[in-house]
Amino acid sequence: MRSKLNLFRQFLGNTPKSLLRGCLTLLIAIVVTGCASVAIKEAGTLTSYSNLSAPKGKLSKRRLYVDGQGLASAKTVSIAPTTFSFSAASRVKSQADRAMVSNALDRALCVALSDKYRMVPAGESADLTVRSVVTDLVPTNKAMAGVATVVTVGSGFALPGNVPVSVPRLPFGLGGLAVEAEAIDGGGVQRAAMVWARGANSIQDNPRVSEVGDAYGLASKFANEFSRMLVKGKEPKGLDISLPSGQRMRSWLGGKPKYAACDAFGRAPGILGAVAANYGAPPEWTDKSPRPAPAH
């Protein structure tokens, strides 16, 4: 592995910067053009929409609001379970699939917010309560996802040194997700909000043979963007290239979360889930749903 990394570094070092910039531009163009189109959609569940910014973003389209001063004193956060708007729910046949997407979103929120806040169970008193609603969901075409998996996994090629590289996913039957969320304080005042939409793309999102295969992965992307805004207390600029914290890595691997409240959303699928995703397996095969509360 080390020799392969050294080969890659040598390749980058010997490649003209102009060529690298050109390749990056081409890659971004492929990502943007080879993705599902999902519009920002309001469901009327936010306390207010008047403070939201104008639409922005390319891969993730969003309108947002953040009150940095209002967030500064917050120490604890609770997460109300994510719900679906009527129109979004009608696009997904299975209630279990809807629950899996909602739970993945809440789990990612809880783990990411644990970097700064103490997470408390839903319904308990907290400085901030996060409420999220799925406003639209573009189903993944399962048949096309199956074809794309075969093509993507079976058509990889290798760089010198046998470094494997997968071909981009076929840009057909891609799914998408739209969400609106807010963080309100104990007095019911909105301190942050985001209306967000994103479609799966051919480069970043593995095809999974499930109606919610893409929505499942995009739920975590939304959670990370919203959490980043709350943790920073301002609109994040540019890509987040920082290394994940130790507690986030442990949780991603399926380990015990930093706060017990996050166990209400189960554990992340970890390495097994990542391997399954690479081979197109439905997310329910490896998703670790929360355990039912003990009966009294």
147 belongs to a structural domain: yes
Segments forming the whole domain that contains residue 250: 36-285
23 belongs to a structural domain: no
Report how many domains make up the chain: 1
198 belongs to a structural domain: yes
161 belongs to a structural domain: yes
11 belongs to a structural domain: no
Identify which of 26, 50, 70 has the alpha carbon closest to the alpha carbon of residue 191: 70
Q: Going residue by residue through the chain (296 aa), what tens digit of pLDDT does each one get?
A: 444 334 434 444 554 555 444 444 444 444 445 677 899 999 999 999 999 999 999 889 999 999 999 999 999 999 999 999 999 999 999 999 999 999 999 999 999 999 999 999 998 999 999 999 999 999 999 988 888 777 766 655 444 544 444 567 778 889 999 999 999 999 999 999 999 999 998 888 889 999 999 999 999 999 999 999 999 999 988 777 788 899 999 999 999 999 999 999 999 999 999 889 888 999 999 998 776 554 44
Count of CB atoms situated within 10 Å of the CB of 101: 26
Question: CA–CA separation, 113 vs 102, rounded Å?
Answer: 17
Which amino acid, 122? A
**Would you state the structure tokens that stand for residue 13, as one six-digit string?**
């070092």
9 belongs to a structural domain: no
215 belongs to a structural domain: yes
**Which stretches within the chain are classed as H helix?**
2-14, 17-33, 68-72, 86-89, 95-113, 142-154, 213-232, 246-252, 270-278
Identify which of 265, 236, 221, 217 has the alpha carbon closest to the alpha carbon of residue 82: 265
* Residues 250, 256 contacting (CB under 8 angstroms): yes
Identify which of 164, 152, 270 has the alpha carbon closest to the alpha carbon of residue 200: 152
294 belongs to a structural domain: no
pTM: 0.83
